[in-house]
């Protein structure tokens, strides 16, 4: 089953620069960390028009969905609360369109 976790962080006031450095370091560490079974990809985003808003996406492909989130996602969420408001959500892939071809996910 393909699913993803989105962890959005809204940095408090003067924390934007520190937050961006911290998130970049976290993303780098995730790439070097021991493999998490089922973790396919990690991506870091910054909001296009709102400074201090960031998102981390963890893309998973596992047998079982973890509706509360993975241990990794929950741990990141707790760590990032020190920088501001955090929202953690889990999404199931239903359909993916790539290169003009639609691939429906079987549940």
CATH no. for residue 18? Answer: 3.30.70.100
Q: Which residue has the tokens 């955090």?
A: 86
- Quote the domain boundaries for residue 9: 2-104
Torsion from C-alpha of 86, 87, 88, 89, nearest 10 degrees: -170
pTM of the model as a whole:
0.83
| Exposed/middle/buried for residue 31 (C-beta within 10 Å: 0-12, 13-18, 19+) | exposed
pLDDT tens per residue across span 30-85: 766 667 889 998 899 999 998 889 999 999 999 999 999 999 999 999 989 988 89
- Measure the CA–CA gap between 99 and 91, rounded to whole angstroms: 22
Residue 102, pLDDT score: 61
User: How many domains are there within the chain?
Assistant: 1
Residue 33, pLDDT score: 65
């Amino acid at each position: 089953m393909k699913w993803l976790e989105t962890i959005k962080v809204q940095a408090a006031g003067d924390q934007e620069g520190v937050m961006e450095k911290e998130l970049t370091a976290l993303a780098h560490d995730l790439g070097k960390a021991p493999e998490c079974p089922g973790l396919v990809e990690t991506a870091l985003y910054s909001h296009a028009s709102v400074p201090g808003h960031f998102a981390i996406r963890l893309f998973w492909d596992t047998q079982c969905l973890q509706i509360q989130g993975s241990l990794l996602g929950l741990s990141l969420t707790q760590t990032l609360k020190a920088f501001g408001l955090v929202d953690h959500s889990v999404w199931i892939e239903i359909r993916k369109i790539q290169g003009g071809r639609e691939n429906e996910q079987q549940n």
